[in-house]
Each structure stands twice: as C-alpha cells, then as structure tokens.
Chains A and B, each alone.
Chain A
C-alpha cells in the first residue's frame, strides 16, 4: 500500500487540530491543580528567585512554572541549576504521570507536526496528488 501526500496531510491536520485542543487545556489544568505540597517545598527561594515567585504565581506565568516542574519530573538530572531534587516525592502519582504525559505528548506532537510539515513541504510537486 502506497502512502500518498494526502494520507500524510490527514495525519498532519489531525495532529495539528488535536494539538490545539489538548495542549493548552492540559497545560492550564496542570497549572491550576499543581499540588500545594510541591509549591510549599520548592516554589520559594532559593529554588526560584523572589521575583520569579511573584511572576509565576498566577496566569500566565504559572504555565512556565508547570513547564519547569514537568521537565524536572521527566528528567530529574536537570535539577542542577535550581537544586530541585526528587520532585516526585512532593506530588501525587497521578500528577506525576500527568506531568510526564503532558511533556512527552508535547514533544511527540511537535515532532510529528514539524516532521510531517517538513516532509510534506519537501515532496516534489508532481507527486503531490
């Protein structure tokens, strides 16, 4: 079975539309439901500067805070700069899984989105139909 440009475009537009629907919703929900225990332990000096704690306390700054925790949950070795160790111990299991799923999902969505876009843009015109 030969995969056509139209088939790839179907996947591309599905990924694009699904991404616009799930990414901001999940990101926002994860930011709203950040565990208090985690915030009390790490969302303060010296892990975050005083100014950062003000900026990232509410929308839209708290999205960056969630992103930081998501990366640290996914790759604990990134803790060197902020010294946020064992972040998993301060969040429930469901939240840890949700954070990891969110970041892996974003990586996959963006890889597919830009990967398919590159392939589709590089297909020569004569084989486009």
Chain B
C-alpha cells in the first residue's frame, strides 16, 4: 500500500506547479516528447528537472514504449509535477526500455506478481469523491474473469430452468383444461393429468421451484381462475408470460456478458503496456470465445431431446462457463510457454482496432 499512499499524496497535495490538474494531450504531427514537456511544464531539455518530468510522463503513460517514438493522435497524460516528491528522485531507469518491451518469459496474467491496486494506481482520478467508484470499478475489472464465470453460470442455469421446453408442462395444464371444458376429459381425468404435468415440472426444476414462483409451488401457482371477470386460464397465461420473460432476460444476459467479455478483452489489449501482455489477453479472449461458441453449437445435440432438468441445467450452466474460462486461461498459458516469440496481435491487426 506504500506506493498507493505516495501516489494519492502526490495527487491530493497542494501543487506549486503552474498546472494543478492533470491534462490529456493529443500528439500532433511534428511533436516530440521533449517539445511537449518543454511547452507544458516549461522545462527545457538541458534543465536538470527535465529527467524528472520525463520520468513522470513515462510513469503515467504505459503506452509510450520509447520516448523517441510517439504517434500522431496518441493520448499523453500530463500529470502535475510536485516540487518535492518521490518522482523528483526517480529518473528514467536504465533498464526502462528493456522493461517496457517485456522479456517474453514474463507471465503477467497467469502469475500476477502484484495486486490490482498496484496496476491501477496510475489511473486514480484526482477528485476524492470519484476515487471510491474508481476502486470499485478497478476491482470489478481485475476480477472480471471470475465474476463473468459466476454470473455466466447463473444466467445459463436460469435460462435452462426457465427454458420454454420446461414451460411446456405448464402450457399442458392449459391444454388439458380446454379439453376438459370441451368435454373431452372428465373432471377426475383432468385433475389427474394436471397433477402429473405439474409433478413432472417440479421434478425438472427441483429446489428452484419456489424461487421461480415467488415462494409458491407450481401446484399452488398454476391454478384455474374461478373469478368470472378474467378468463379461467389467465393465471396460467400470466405465469407462462413471466417465465418466458425470465428466459429472455437470461438469454440476453448471456449475450451481454459475452459481448462485455470481448469488449473487456479488447480494452485490455488496447491498454496493455507490453506486447507480451497484449498477446496473452488476445489469446485468452479468443480461446474462451472459441470454446463457448463451439461447445454451444455442440450442446444443441442435447436440445434435440427435451426438456432440461435442474441438475442438467446447473451442470450445463456451470460446465459451459467453467470450460470457457478454462479454455481462455489454457490458451494464454500455451502462448506464454510455446509461442511468446510471435506477435499475434500485430499479425492480425487487432491492436490498432482495439485502440
């Protein structure tokens, strides 16, 4: 926490510098880093404070690999320079270039060396009231893989439980009632078949029955309405509509989660400071996407025979989410071990796309 405290101190302390707030600068044609430093901080190249300013710029801008290579349109974060700070005694380290270019054997994502506080510290907002929200988002970002797996498993299971194939048992009660009304079934036949359909439904969704019907059993919730003001099957229709809505939300949740996962991967590729990191994030994202699409297509075999029981829904849900996460991690591990010399991100051009 020492580093974080220092940095927070740096940001919050009153600044003697002419610029008291951070600034984002867009690199224009003909700009050099020394020119930018000179014009922004009023520190010339031969000034003893120049190294301090350069160190600050490099510290707060992971996207700068080489001070001599900045691109037109690149965003540079220019932070205030306090007169007395740890940064002042922190010139550009000699091994800066080596470090930024990252040795291929370094494992960033699979064997994290620090916690997320360390990684996100340079993005801390300057306003104290924004900092709590920032840390909450940073935590979510850091734990997205785990969160998305848990939430993904939840969505998959929820989708499985509310799947329309299961709801067919409830729809059957309505059909049975219509047959009974037409005289095709006697009262006892109708009661027996109704109980049977709802019993099958209860068996399929198991312990989640009361959760889906707001504390009631399916037998209690799926009733023929005796009120004359509404159709007899209105309650069943309402329940079916509710379950259909839930299935739709679960499906959309799954899609949003997948899209968010790809978006998060793209963001990570754009933000990663080294080629190694970019490639690991890329193969992790692509690996988990390939696994989830492929297994999704193969799992349709299961739907050739219906419907889904709660044990199966849970198993499929957790299994699919875990497989996707595992495939992503496995892909990153394989890249790290066998393929770190190759720059897949550059080859495909995804780096520029994500930026």
Contacts and interface: CB of A to CB of B under 8 A. Distances in A.
Interface of A: 5-6, 8-10, 12-13, 16-17, 19-20, 23-24, 27, 49-52, 54-55, 60-61, 63-64, 66-68, 70-72, 78, 80-82, 102-103, 106-107, 109-110, 113-114, 117, 120-121, 125, 128-129
Interface in B289-334: 289-291, 293-301, 303-306, 327, 330-331, 333-334
B164 A64 contact: no
29 contacts: A5-B338, A9-B334, A10-B339, A13-B283, A16-B286, A16-B287, A16-B331, A20-B293, A50-B168, A51-B240, A51-B244, A52-B165, A54-B244, A63-B297, A64-B303, A67-B303, A68-B303, A68-B304, A70-B300, A71-B301, A81-B304, A81-B305, A102-B297, A106-B297, A110-B291, A110-B295, A113-B291, A117-B334, A120-B337
B61 interface: no
A61 B304 contact: no
Given A60-B251, A60-B255, A128 B305 contact: no
Contacts of A60: 251, 255
Given A12-B334, A13-B335, A20 B289 contact: yes
A50 to B, nearest CB: 6
Given A49-B168, A61-B251, 5 more contacts: A16-B286, A78-B301, A107-B298, A113-B291, A120-B337
B195 to A, nearest CB: 20
B247 interface: yes
B300 A52 contact: no
B8 interface: no
B171 interface: yes
Interface string B222-253: 00000000000000000010001001100100
B306 A117 contact: no
Q: How large is the interface on B (under 10, 10 to 19, 20 to 34, 35 or more residues)?
A: 35 or more
A51 B164 contact: yes
Nearest to A120: B334
A67 B290 contact: no
Contacts of B337: 5, 120, 125, 128
A17 B294 contact: no
A55 B300 CA distance: 14
Identify the interface centre among A16, A106, A109: most chain B CB within 10 Å of its CB: A16
Contacts of A17: 286, 344, 348
Contacts of A66: 300
Contacts of B298: 106-107, 110
Nearest to B338: A9
B300 A67 contact: yes
B168 A51 contact: yes
Interface of B: 163-165, 167-168, 171, 240, 244, 247-248, 251, 255, 283, 286-287, 289-291, 293-301, 303-306, 327, 330-331, 333-335, 337-339, 344, 348
A51 B163 CA distance: 9
A128 B303 CA distance: 41
Contact of B297 (A23, A51, A55): A23
Nearest to A103: B297
Chain A interface, DSSP helix/strand/loop, else mixed? helix
Contacts of A10: 339
A25 B334 CA distance: 26
B163 to A, nearest CB: 8
Contact of B338 (A8, A19, A67): A8
Identify the interface centre among B283, B293, B304: most chain A CB within 10 Å of its CB: B304
Nearest to A66: B300
Given A13-B335, A27-B297, A49-B164, A81 B344 contact: no
Contacts of B344: 13, 17
Given A49-B164, A70-B300, A107-B298, A13 B339 contact: yes
Contacts of A71: 300-301, 304
Contacts of B244: 51, 54-55
Given A50-B171, A64-B303, A19 B294 contact: yes
Contacts of A114: 291, 327
B333 A54 contact: no
B230 to A, nearest CB: 21
Contacts of A107: 298
Contacts of A16: 283, 286-287, 290, 331
A78 B348 contact: no
